[in-house]
A = this chain, B = another copy of it.
Amino acid sequence: MVRTLPNVSEQAARFTLVREAHKTEATEDYVELIDDLISVNGEARLVDIASRMGVTQPTASKTLARLQRDGYVNSEPYRSIFLTQMGKDLADESRFKHEVVFQFLLTIGVSKEAAKRDSEGMEHHVSDETLKAFKKIIRKHQAR
């Protein structure tokens, strides 16, 4: 039972941080997927991005326009999508986090399916400190 309240400005700062993380989530998910598509298929097509993100093509198209505006991707009309260096860097960072969270969940006994689902949402809310703690536990488990 909670019978005290945290400091006002600290609590506000935490909520603000979570909201900021949300704003970058779509970007991270898109660049990570685009990078995967390029490495597996040789290119990233809108149709594949949309179907894998589970959205319609116009929705994916609009999001990609924003990513291009913000400097994460490049593309010519009707052509496949490329990552800028910034986009590639973000994709790498994002995939790394995603992978650590996924492996961590497996390590503590979560099923593969649940680990896949949960890591997709959790990866965006895990600080470097928590990531470090996760890595340590993975390492310890591998050493056995």
Interface residues of A (CB under 8 A from B): 1-6, 8, 10-19, 21-22, 29, 35-37, 39-41, 51-55, 95, 105, 108-111, 114-118, 120-122, 124-127, 129-130, 133-134, 136-137
Contacts and interface: CB of A to CB of B under 8 A. Distances in A.
Main secondary structure of the interface of A (DSSP, over half): helix
B3 A52 contact: no
A52 B12 contact: yes
A35 B31 CA distance: 39
B127 A118 contact: yes
A14 B117 CA distance: 6
Scoring A39, A53, A129 by chain B CB atoms within 10 A of each residue's CB, the highest score goes to A129
A54 B13 contact: yes
